[in-house]
Amino acid sequence: MAQSGPEFSMAEFLGGIGDAVRPSAARPIVVRAAELETLPADQVHNPTTLSIAGKLPTATFEIFRQTIPPGLSSDMQRHHHETVHFVIAGEGHSEVEDEIASWSAGDFVYTPPWTWHRHYNDSAEHPVEFLTIENSRLLGLLGVGRRQSAGLATVEEARARFGEEAS
């Protein structure tokens, strides 16, 4: 079955979804912390560290551990997929389009699709740790995944760079 492109069939894709998914040796049910794979810094576009649990058998979503160093932030970005950040440790705030919301350990931060957003660590001493879950693999399988980064910019600067009006 083709995962995307002209040979892709939604009927085959949906027909391949069974009632049960059985773990196998090729698809581990546990990935240890030491097995997380850190993305190269030149692919992250900001001072955060992203480590992916790439050996998990997930077909439709990805899971990352994200660390934002003290006093820093992620980049201003937007993407077609939804994202939920569970705050493992630390406190900060997120800028999502024209809204700013504070968060701390134990909170969940939701980023809707195709919204400019940036996450900030408000501590000068302690890193922020996120468990980041996104449905990017599903959109990738469907051939509709897209991501844009404006770097360490404001929402207004991102909109200007990509030629947009306020949402």
DSSP symbols for 55-120: TS--SS-EEEEEEE-TT-B---EEESS-EEEEEEE-EEEEEETTEEEEEETT-EEEE-TT--EEEE
Token pair recorded at residue 59? 């077909």
Number of helices (H), then strands (E), in the chain: 4, 11
CATH architecture of 48-161: Sandwich (2.60)
10 Å CB burial of residue 98 (0-12, 13-18, 19+) is exposed
Q: In the predicted model, what is the mean pLDDT of the chain?
A: 85
Beta-carbon contacts of 62 under 8 Å, excluding residues fewer than 6 positions away, are 52, 53, 54, 133, 134, 136, 137
pLDDT for 55: 80
Banded model confidence at residue 20, pLDDT cuts 50, 70, 90: low
Question: Which tokens go with 124?
Answer: 């000068």
pLDDT band at 106 (very low <50, low <70, confident <90, very high): very high
Best mean pLDDT range from 4-8, 34-38, 131-135: 131-135
* Widest pairwise Cα distance in the chain: 52
Do 131 and 52 form a contact (C-beta atoms < 8 A)?
no
Report the pLDDT value the prediction gives residue 11, as an integer from 0 to 100.
Answer: 67
Percent share of the chain, pLDDT over 70: 81
Residue boundaries of the structural domains of the chain: 48-161
